[in-house]
Structure 1
Amino acid sequence: MKKVKNVWLRSSAWLLNSILLLLGFSSCDSNGSEMYGTPYATYSLKGKVVDAQKQPIPDIEVKIKIGRGGDYHSQIAPLKTNASGEFAFKENLTIDGKFRLVARDVDGTANGSFKSDSIEITMDKPSGGDGSWFQGSASEEDIVITLQKDEAK
């Protein structure tokens, strides 16, 4: 009985090892390993916030909301305009180039009071990718957001 059990165990172990050996070699192919990651692109936004007379407005908060599907989500820290009313943003993102920029007066009456406003930007497809995960770059550099005076404040 012990001898039969021993023969059966050796036979089944040999059979399982042979099957696993064949499966292991069949998974090796000439295509190499699969890439790991997510396609991304470098997006650059540059613009200016001005009043109705086209004068730059400093210290305006500019929130960049990223478009995914039909919604916009804010995942980026807000920017502030400089003394010339300019803002700039450059980031590697895994999106399709849809943004909503929301300009908001956060300094109270220091520069005058302005009503919040927003614009939507849809960028062209990125260009100059490397044929791998990097899809390329896209930029929009002449963005102008015009804010109206808030007479209520």
Structure 2
Amino acid sequence: MKIRLNHWYSAILASLISLLGFESCDSTGTEEYGTPIVSYQVKGNVKGDMGSDLRGIQVTIKSRNYRETQGRDTAYTDAKGNFEMKKLKTYGESYLKNELVVTFEDVDGEANGGTFEKDSLKGSEVAIVRKEKGSGWYEGHFEVTADKKLAKKSK
């Protein structure tokens, strides 16, 4: 009888918690209850210090707080120096402004007009525009534009 009572209490408790709306994940299973999230894309253009478009520059998106890496991604610039990363997901809008770091690194050496210094932009140094308003814990979709001029490495 004791086992049945415990099972009965557990069933009532689980039902009550469900009715009150407590849950730990959304439909994708990635966000904690009560944590604001955003989706965003990052795009931009990379030029050399003389204004030429830089091809093959590695562009990495990550957080200054390494543990928060939802949204870490890498892209490479095309022949016109453009790059784009689509539909990343991370913590709220304040994360984009305070924790986002966009790093630019010349990984191909002399292949595209010289060797350039590694550099980065913080969230406060990029243009962040809300493209779609969200609701609830989802704060919406944002577009981040990160344009950068890289200096040539001195020999």
Please report the TM-score for the alignment, with normalisation by the length of structure 2. Answer: 0.68
Return the letter of the residue paired with 1:94: Y
What residue is the counterpart of 1:8 in the other structure?
none
Greater mean deviation of Cα atoms: 77-86 or 17-26: 17-26
Contact 1:104 1:117 (C-alpha < 8 Å) held by counterparts = yes
What residue is the counterpart of 1:99 in the other structure?
100
**Residue 116 and residue 89 in structure 1: after superposition, are their counterparts in 2 closer, same or farther (change >3 A)?**
same
Contact 1:65 1:72 (C-alpha < 8 Å) held by counterparts = no
- In the TM superposition, what is the alpha-carbon distance from 1:134 to its structure 2 partner? 2.5
What residue is the counterpart of 1:128 in the other structure?
133
**Residue 126 and residue 84 in structure 1: after superposition, are their counterparts in 2 closer, same or farther (change >3 A)?**
closer
Q: Distance in 2 between matches of 1:58 and 1:23?
A: 61
Please report the TM-score for the alignment, with normalisation by the length of structure 1. Answer: 0.68
Structural mapping, 1:1-153, within 5 Å: 13=1, 25=12, 28-29=15-16, 31-37=19-25, 38=31, 39=35, 40-68=37-65, 76-90=72-86, 91-94=88-91, 96-97=95-96, 98-111=99-112, 112-122=114-124, 123=128, 128-131=133-136, 133-141=137-145, 143-152=146-155
Structure exhibiting the larger radius of gyration computed from Cα positions: 1
- In the TM superposition, what is the alpha-carbon distance from 1:51 to its structure 2 partner? 1.0
The gaps in structure 1 that reach 5 residues or longer are 1-12
Q: Distance in 2 between matches of 1:105 and 1:140?
A: 21
**Residue 80 and residue 126 in structure 1: after superposition, are their counterparts in 2 closer, same or farther (change >3 A)?**
same
Return the letter of the residue paired with 2:50: Q
Contact 2:58 2:104 (C-alpha < 8 Å) held by counterparts = yes
Return the letter of the residue paired with 1:67: R
Q: Distance in 2 between matches of 1:110 and 1:16?
A: 72
* RMSD of Structure 2 on Structure 1 (CA): 3.2
Q: Distance in 2 between matches of 1:21 and 1:117?
A: 61
What per-residue deviation string (whole Å, max 9, x for no partner) do you get for residues 57-106 of structure 1? Answer: 000111212233xx687673421111111111231223522311111111
Q: Distance in 2 between matches of 1:57 and 1:63?
A: 15
The gaps in structure 2 that reach 5 residues or longer are 26-30
Contact 1:41 1:126 (C-alpha < 8 Å) held by counterparts = no
**Residue 36 and residue 74 in structure 1: after superposition, are their counterparts in 2 closer, same or farther (change >3 A)?**
closer
**Residue 124 and residue 22 in structure 1: after superposition, are their counterparts in 2 closer, same or farther (change >3 A)?**
same
- In the TM superposition, what is the alpha-carbon distance from 1:137 to its structure 2 partner? 1.5
